[in-house]
Structure 1
Amino acid sequence: MQRVLAALLVVIAATTGVTTPAAADLAQPAVVSEHPVRYTPHVLDGAVWAMTVVGRTVIVGGEFTKVADSTRRHTYARRNIFAFDLYDGSVRSFAPAVDGGVHALAAGPGDTVYAGGNFTTVNGVRQRGLARLSLSGDRVSAFRATVNYGDVRALAQRDHRVYAGGTFTAMNGVRRAGLARVDATTGALDTGFDARLSAPGMRETFVESFDLSPDGRRLVVVGALKLAGTTTRGRIAMFDVSGSRAALTDWYTDAFAETCAPKFDAYLRQVKFSPDGSYIVVVTTGGTSSPVKLCDAAARFQTAGSGKHDPVWVQHTGGNSLSAVAVTGAAVYLGGHQLYLDNPNGHKIKEPGKPPVYTPGPGAVMRPGIGAVDPATGRALSWNPTRSRGVGVRAFVAVPQGLLVGSDTDELGHEYHGRVGMFPLR
């Protein structure tokens, strides 16, 4: 039955096109295969930070300069952004000129895509941090949003609005600490939308990641933050965004109030809603192995109800960072530079001048660089394709055909895949 459903999804996608949802991950009927497809292209240097899909076009952002087709016989100059065909992997002519990294992407209306990052110009025109591009590679000149500083690290488009998060302190010249909403057509700032984020005692206030609920009514934000307005929120906050304001909800958790390693003010790396919106999963770094703190771990929280929420489950790596998560209903996929999962009692041993040594605790299972856990229990599934670890996975995108992966290394599923790959549905 699972194979029949997967086949039907592929047929539907081929006839109607695929667009990445503006919120949450796409529900999938099964766990994807451990064997990547062989037709995806390769990014030959740097790292992939973001991916999204418009129709049958996959747009890839990051910090790189060269791309090759799946055979590696043809190489293309592509600086920080490129595109390929979802069905056959062919590299598209899409090649806008951006002078800095592309750290976030979101599908736009029509054949357009929103790009965020630390660039200052697009196709020679000054536009800092946020732009809208056509699939021909042209800059959409009517969209004039710009940030004052830093970068844009998270993007989502929904109902004629674009949400942007990052390290900026102003959008279009108006103060916004790391989170803003703009008009999807013009880029004009939504002046009534202000989360009033702050992080007293931290080096700066910024948003590392966010996600919109499937119905578009709630926005969950993680990063270097301690307050939303005057209300305490320890590194994670949830807002009702169905109206004109960023209305802070009374959902909260104290699970991330404690600091991990001293330099990690914002050790939460990514957050995703489940396809039905009933829960979120957060992944973290932390620089420490602790069975008590939520450092170097993944955690599930229910979204229903008000007040304090404790995690339903916690998945510990034993001291290795997790940097990306996808929640498809059939599985929760985790990517980072972890060696192990199911490893709350593992230890990270660091001696001066030597690389760290990681020792597994009882019950630990090897899942180098990528793995999957049961959404209900948080325990590791048998899925174990492996990935050369590097810094970690930066992007997962669930599509009807499978799971797209973007990272900084070139081995996936025991095969060469330069920083981009896709695991198909079985």
Structure 2
Amino acid sequence: MRRLLAAATVLIAAVAGAPPAAADPAQNGIVSANPVDWTPHVLDGTVWSLAVVGDTVIVGGAFTKVADASRRQTYARKNIFAYGLRDGAIRSFAPEVDGAVYSLAPGDDDTVYAGGAFKTVNGAGSRGITRLWLGSGNRYTSFKARINWGDVRSLSHRGDDLYAGGTFSAVNGVERVGLVRVDAESGTVDEDFDARLSGPGLKRVRVEHFDISPDDSRLVAVGAFLRAGDEERTQIALFDVGGASAELTDWYTDAYEPPCMKGFDTYLRQVKFSPDGAYFVVAATGRASSAQKLCDSAARFEAGGSGRHNPTWVQRTGGDSLYAVAVTGSVVYLGGHQRWFDNPYGTDGNGPGPGAVSRPGIGAVSPTTGRALSWNPTRARGVGVRAFLVVPNGLIVGSDTDELGKEYHGRLGMFPL
């Protein structure tokens, strides 16, 4: 029944023209390297998260001020704001959120879910997770999910369910380490769903990011964990979530067992399914250059089959971090503070190796081979791209710098399709 309801939800969303809430929507071809001129600017801090509800883009992060496209008008917007998807007009939506917003997910009835490191929303206790009305910015008071401590780093709304991942160990007083499923309306914890993540020897277990397949049947999670239930799963695990419980599949990889630079409890940062659900791509940091390990790389894994999996391909930067990935079927977009792609034999200290190509801060690779495509808009590297959002008219990028495609774009911009 859960799968039938979820499938109906996806069909309704497709008819309404809304993008799916999990995985990126398919696009034909690659976006332009010239960003549109009408997106607003975030004037400080970092954009961490993006979501779209109808014709409204919601932006989350750690910031205090935004400006319109012309930079003539500045608005006070702390950690979250919204603008028009097709004209860039800044909306009146301005909830008071007292901490960073790391994750967003579209909700029903003109609402949005927000997750992060906040403790209050509009002056009321709302630790780590909330639901907001887009029209007024008010809290949706019937939604009462609360984490015990830490933050929420990833969200996905699927039908009657909301999935959340982060650094918490309990939600509404119910023990759930790093990953939880709650009722999307009330925030009540799903008692049957428990991934049972653990990390013997780790200081803190967390889910850094997760994605759900387009048919709602599988969830892939990455982060600081070493086990799921009784099974070893180093930094990445694939679950069957089509039923009542979180059933760990026998899909696994040991590709992320080798360590990168000392001090990383996890070096995996984002994971995204392809629009057809056949594979997913993982973006990683690690501060290490290696032609054998998956530090500072992007890797494609086939989602089907059982047992041990090796990556289908690996895109190596040569020692620079990747933080964000988007998969549109025809293209895989990657963002971070990388200088090069196709660089397995280069290093930070010695420069690019044979065959390396310059792709500062943002680039695209073939979903089939993992090799760099010619798309090279460039951006000021900073720490890196933190969020991609694939929308019907392009690709929205959130980061911590103000140059994108050789133009001024304060921490936010869009490449048109």
Please state which band the TM-score falls in when normalised by the shorter chain: over 0.9
Q: Is 1:18–1:399's contact at 8 Å kept on the other side of the alignment?
A: no
Q: Is 1:373 the equivalent of 2:372?
A: no
Question: In the alignment, which residue of structure 2 is the partner of 1:62?
Answer: 61
Residue equivalent to 1:93 = 92
Corresponding residue number in structure 1 for 2:379: 387
Q: What is aligned with 1:232?
A: 232
Distance, in Å, in 1 between the alignment partners of 2:310 and 2:377 is: 31
What does residue range 8-19 of structure 1 map to in structure 2 within 5 Å?
Answer: 18-19=17-18
Q: Secondary structure at the match of 1:347?
A: coil
- Report if aligned partners of 2:297, 2:315 keep a CA contact under 8 Å in 1: yes
Q: Residues 23-422 of structure 1: matches in 2 within 5 Å? A: 23-136=22-135, 137-349=137-349, 359-422=351-414
Is the contact made by 1:19 and 1:107 (CA closer than 8 Å) also made in structure 2?
A: no
1:18/1:54 contact within 8 Å kept? no
> For 1:20 and 1:208, how far apart are their aligned partners in 2?
23
Determine if contact 1:369/1:386 at 8 Å carries over to the other structure. Answer: yes
Q: How far apart in 2 are the matches of 1:18 and 1:86? A: 13
Supply the AA of the counterpart residue of 1:272.
Answer: K
What is aligned with 2:11?
Answer: none
Q: Give the Cα separation in 2 of the matches to 1:327 and 1:171.
A: 31
Q: CA deviation digits over 1:10-69, x for unaligned, max 9?
A: xxxxx9865331110010011000000000000000000000000000000000000000
Q: What is the CA distance between 1:204 and its match in structure 2? A: 1.2
Q: For residues 318-351 of structure 1, what are the alpha-carbon distances to aligned partners after superposition, in whole Å with 9 as ceiling and x for unaligned?
A: 00000000000111000000000000000123xx
Give the residue type in structure 2 aligned to 1:190: D
CA distance in 2, matches of 1:222, 1:36: 31
Give 3-state SS (helix, strand or coil) of 1:343's partner: coil
Partner of 1:12: none
Assess if the C-alpha contact under 8 Å between 1:212 and 1:218 holds in 2: yes
Give ranges in structure 1 of 5+ residues lacking alignment: 1-14, 350-357
Structure 2 unmatched ranges of 5 or more? 1-13
Aligned to 1:71, what secondary structure does the other structure show? Answer: coil
Q: Is the 8 A contact 1:120 1:127 kept in 2?
A: yes
Cα pair 2:272 2:327 within 8 Å, conserved:
yes
C-alpha distance in 1 between matches for 2:263 and 2:17: 40
- For residues 113 and 179 of structure 1, the distance between their equivalents in structure 2, rounded to whole angstroms, comes to 19
Secondary structure at the aligned position of 2:388 is classed as: strand
Please tell me the residue identity of whatever aligns with 1:414: K
**SS in structure 2 of the partner of residue 191 of structure 1:** coil
Q: Distance in 1 between matches of 2:96 and 2:120?
A: 8
**What CA deviation, in whole Å up to 9, does each residue of 1:169-197 have, x standing for no partner?**
11111111110000000000001100000
Cα distance in 2 between the residues matched to 1:258 and 1:147: 32
Call closer, same or farther: CA 1:238–1:162 in 2, change over 3 Å.
Answer: same
Structure 1 residue identity aligned to 2:400: D
SS, match of residue 348 in structure 1: coil
Q: Percent identity?
A: 65
Query: Which residue of the partner structure matches residue 3 of structure 2?
Result: none
Looking at structure 2, the residues matched to 112 and 264 of structure 1 have their Cα atoms a distance apart, in angstroms, of 36
